[in-house]
Amino acid sequence: MATIDVEGVQREASLLLLEDARVGDYVIVHAGFAIQKLDESAARETLDLLREAIAAVEKQESNQN
């Protein structure tokens, strides 16, 4: 098991499916399992896209109220 951190939110995730994960690695987690490692550039790009999507949804929701 490992503790993962996304934007300051910490969760537990299993590393059973990744044999070479180390502290500081970026991983994709699904259903509580780390399923793939990402290089730092890809991880940062993915996080940026998720932030943009969240901001767009929040903006749309605020416009509807």
Position 26 scores a pLDDT of: 96
Domain ranges of the chain: 2-64
Q: How far, in whole angstroms, is CA 32 from its chain's centroid?
A: 12
CA–CA separation, 29 and 47 (whole Å): 13
Give the DSSP H/E element, type plus range, for residue 36: strand 33-38
Q: What is the pLDDT along the chain (65 residues), one digit of tens a residue?
A: 999 998 899 999 999 999 899 999 999 999 999 999 999 999 999 999 999 999 999 999 998 87
What DSSP element (H or E) covers 27? strand 26-30
pTM for this entry: 0.78
pLDDT of residue 19: 87
* CA-to-CA dists, residue 13 to 5, 6, 32, 48, 64, angstroms: 10, 12, 5, 22, 36
pLDDT of residue 18: 94
CATH 2.30.30.140 fits 2-64, yes or no: yes
